Structure 1
Amino acid sequence: MNCLFGYVLTNLSRFLLLPFIISVSLNALAEESDESPNFAFGLGYGLLNEKSLMNIDFKINIPLNDTFSTQVLLNSNYLLTGSSRDSFAQSEFTSNWFLKSEYVRLGLGVGVSELEPMDETLASEREVSGQFMGEVFIGDVAFTTNYVSADITLSNITSSRFGLGYYLNEDHRVSLFREKYNGNQIGWRLETYYQPKKYRQLGRVGLIVRTGKDYDYAGAMIEYYFDHARSLQQREREFH
């Protein structure tokens, strides 16, 4: 068990250096552009089939102009079972590009996903994946579709999904998705996110429940944004 937590802490310490490095770069970019980049840092924890699953997310959204934007995403997951034999870390690095308007956003991306067992005698798995994202905004309703070619689909990003979200108000959204997991398994995902005005709308909290034969999950996450105050609805229309 000590070995498992040491493994997680070692990788976590590497990630925690990134906000300081990236925030300096974002400040420089913001001075040169009317539209400032958006940097988000998220932490999540839940139970995947009664096993502990922790995830760490870093996301940079960079507007290029009123029509195009780009995104860099680093997503890491740690499944802790109490034994190094079936515990592992999964990381995913993705570059996405978006064409957007007031009502529609279309995106294409390419990424590398790696599954690394905590037992050093086992081999790691790595694959390159492509991704398509589409969203349509009609009033307080958002229709979302997302397709990923990867076979390693533990993380929240790499599930192919289709569904809709509804904004109860500008800072509170509820969504329901139909998802596809490994081995063509089908499941459902219900999630809600809330962004308190009390903290200048720079952070949100979420609850997630997911069903599937081998992918039952219940968890929570928090996310902090290194930008300026804006509503959750506005933020999600601007950034994926």
Structure 2
Amino acid sequence: MTVFPCVYISFSAVMTTALMTVSGSLYAVEENPNFAVGLGYGLLNEKSLMNLDFKINIPINQYLSTQILLNSNYLVTGSAISSFAQSEFSSNWFVRNEFGRLGFGLGISEIEPMDESLDSDREVTAQLMGEMFLDSFTLTTNYISNESTLSNITSSRVGVSYYLDNDQRISLYQEKYNDQEVGWRLETYFQPKKYDQMGSVGVIARSSDDYDYLGVIVQYYFDYAVSLKRREREYN
């Protein structure tokens, strides 16, 4: 499965699942699914990196939830040989309560060079995730079993987030890439109450020897009147 068919098929699956869930065909729960689309742009080692993300979080009951996630990244270097697209399609499952959550995910990651004469690289990935909620703080750790690292989808990390208020947070992570390089990631997200809290803006800065990055991401949510803090703790 190449990157662009993967985007289409995954988006179709996400929309179908969302519509079935909202109508009550899958789960009879009080919480509705949270569906988000993100679009980002930044510079990775002074090269253009674009991101297109689709995500749907589906509550099953008070303690269980599942997530369908598609991340697509496009690195443009000015040369077809070194430019490529990377996509990751995964299904994640969580056990959760008011104090935190634990998750496990399986997916497929693919790197497709823009030069069609070069072969694509595909691998199955596994992910372990954990979060602890401490009032205005969230402690986060996750591990991803990828051999190829790009952007924010294939690096293991540990760190802390602090909510300045219910709709603004700042986070600091130490990231470890699969080539054993270590870097730091600083990000902040803001979700304005205007327009029924249906969107957020994030700024991400990352520093390391081979993966310096500075970028902006805009996310749109297909729900309303949900604070960023609640959204990220209950849905993301």
The reply to whether TM is greater than 0.5 is yes
CA offset at residue 20 of structure 1? 7.6
- Which residue matches 1:6? none
- Which residue matches 1:101? 97
Cα deviation, 1:148-201, whole Å, max 9, x if unaligned, reads 111112131221000000000000000000001241000000000000001211
The answer (yes or no) to whether the contact 1:76–1:155 under 8 Å persists in 2 is no
Distance in 2 separating the partners of 1:134 and 1:25: 25
Aligned partner of 1:76 among 72, 91, 97: 72
- List, as ranges, runs of 4+ consecutive aligned residues in structure 1 with deviation greater than 3 Å: 13-25
- Which residue matches 2:36? 40
Structure 1 residue 58 and structure 2 residue 54: aligned? Answer: yes
Structure 1 residue 31 and structure 2 residue 27: aligned? Answer: no
Distance in 1 separating the partners of 2:34 and 2:76: 31
- Which residue matches 2:174? 178
Structure 1 residue 141 and structure 2 residue 137: aligned? Answer: yes
The answer (yes or no) to whether the contact 1:75–1:155 under 8 Å persists in 2 is no
Report the residue type matching 2:137 in the other structure: V
RMSD, matched Cα:
1.9
Report the residue type matching 1:106 in the other structure: L
2:32 partner SS: coil
CA offset at residue 228 of structure 1? 2.7
Cα deviation, 1:186-219, whole Å, max 9, x if unaligned, reads 0000000000001211110000000011100000
TM-score, normalising length from structure 1? 0.91
Unaligned segments of structure 1, at least 5 residues: 1-9
Unaligned segments of structure 2, at least 5 residues: none
1:184 partner SS: coil
TM-score, normalising length from structure 2? 0.92
CA offset at residue 25 of structure 1? 4.3
Aligned partner of 1:131 among 119, 127, 133: 127
The answer (yes or no) to whether the contact 2:10–2:70 under 8 Å persists in 1 is no
Distance in 2 separating the partners of 1:50 and 1:182: 21
Distance in 1 separating the partners of 2:127 and 2:9: 28
Deviates more, 1:166-175 or 1:31-40: 31-40
The answer (yes or no) to whether the contact 2:7–2:70 under 8 Å persists in 1 is no
Distance in 1 separating the partners of 2:151 and 2:213: 12
1:166 partner SS: strand
Distance in 1 separating the partners of 2:32 and 2:63: 15
CA offset at residue 47 of structure 1? 0.2
CA offset at residue 30 of structure 1? 1.6
Distance in 2 separating the partners of 1:157 and 1:48: 14
**Count of equivalent residues:** 230
